[in-house]
Amino acid sequence: MSKKNINRSVVTFVAGVTLAATLASCSGSDTKPSTPSATSPAATTTTAAKEPAKEPAKAPSNLSGNITIDGSNTVAPISKAVAEDFAKSNPGVKVPVGSSGTGGGFKKFCSGDIDISGASRPIKAKEAEDCKAKNVDFVELPVAVDGLTIIVNKENTWAKCLTVPELKTLWSPDSEGKVTTWDQVRPEFPKETIALFGRGADSGTFDYFTEAVNGKSKAIRKDYQPTEDSNIIVKGVQGGKGASGFLGVAYFEENAKTLNAVEVDGGKGCVAPTTDNITSGKYSPLSRPLFIYVSKKALARPEVKAYIDFYLTSTKLVKEVGYVNLPADALTKVVARFKAENVGSTFMDAPAGVSVSELMAKDLK
């Protein structure tokens, strides 16, 4: 899964150019004060107040080492953004972030090959058994909430809202080779040829979507275009009037000018994948938590503990990347679980659409 790329270096560059221009404009003794714009504060005749003294930059820490992360590339952009900010005060710690998919990440994690596994779905019972067999105890930490978004081509003016049964008509294994035009999904829709794009079988997004829509993980028609790269889904749906696909909300928001998001009726009316609806669980059954799983053995290393502590307090980065922050009560429980290093899962085998706060209150298993 490739993720939304936060081009933070561009922001830094622009800020640098702006600062340079400002210094240059102030360098001459005959320079006249500029006239304030309509959006700037009104000019005054009094001497400008001095800026408050800035806090001195924190000295770099003495921490060092390598922290290995792999797994979901839905989660990877958050982990990369956190790693980038973490490195500013911890230059001796290297945090490479891979993105081999949720399933691929758990294989490496449960073999003891990596410290942290990103996941866009909860760990499965078989994966937990594999971890146990290798003596890999893990701490399960939700870090954000995502809304799986149904996207259609910008010229699709008919599929503004779909019910879960209609989504199943589109994506069910029984529809393979049979449901090929939109009027078969709903009679009043046009007879436009359907082209479907979605995540591949190694993706946690795929597992969650198929379970939520088709009632069984990995159950899906085979005549769609699978990929581990959500950008390919975007391009595919952009390329045909009758095209549709599913991906994380961050990818839709990044391409909202060229795609439409379909509202989903989970039984209580049409609901759009907005921040409020995703956080509250109203966008059901397609709102889901995103996770990192941390090896308890790795947590014994100070650099790993410092990174996770930094991760759980970097809520602004979650929003920057395009995801939704955990509700405050849920985040408090996540931080408490991390500090206590409580191992096990409360999300494994949980039905789609249950809130993070509710699942955090359950007993670990």
What is the per-residue DSSP string for 278-306?
HHHT-STTTEEEEEEEEEHHHHTSHHHHH
Report the percentage of the chain scoring pLDDT > 70.
Answer: 84
**CB of 262 closer than 8 Å to CB of 152:** yes
Within 8 A by CB and 6+ apart from 183, the residues are 189, 190, 191, 192
- Strands, E assignment, 14-64: none
Q: Is the pLDDT reported for residue 248 higher than 90?
A: no
Q: Is the pLDDT reported for residue 22 higher than 70?
A: no
For the segment 197-219, what is each residue's pLDDT rounded down to a tens digit?
A: 999 988 888 988 999 999 998 99
Mean pLDDT over 181-206 rounds to: 95
For the segment 40-64, what is each residue's pLDDT rounded down to a tens digit?
A: 333 333 344 444 444 455 678 899 9
Q: What is the architecture, at CATH level 2, of domain 65-145+289-360? A: 3-Layer(aba) Sandwich (3.40)
Query: 341 pLDDT band (50/70/90 cuts)?
Result: very high
Top mean pLDDT of 71-85, 149-163, 249-263 is at 149-163
CA dist list (Å): 313 to 136, 326, 331: 26, 11, 9
Mean pLDDT over 23-32 rounds to: 40
Tell me the fold of 147-280.
D-Maltodextrin-Binding Protein; domain 2 (3.40.190)
Query: How many angstroms separate the CA atoms of 193 and 223, rounded?
Result: 13
User: Which residue did the predictor score with more confidence, 294 or 22?
Assistant: 294
Query: How many angstroms separate the CA atoms of 200 and 301, rounded?
Result: 35
Helix (H/G/I), strand (E/B), else coil: 355: coil
- All CATH 3.40.190.10 domain ranges in the chain, comma separated: 65-145+289-360, 147-280
Exposure pattern of 314-326 as b/e (b: 16+ CB <10 Å)? beebbebbbbbbb
DSSP 66: E
| Both structure tokens of 217 | 């993980």
pLDDT for res 28: 43
For the segment 90-134, what is each residue's pLDDT rounded down to a tens digit?
A: 999 999 999 998 999 999 999 999 999 999 999 999 999 999 999
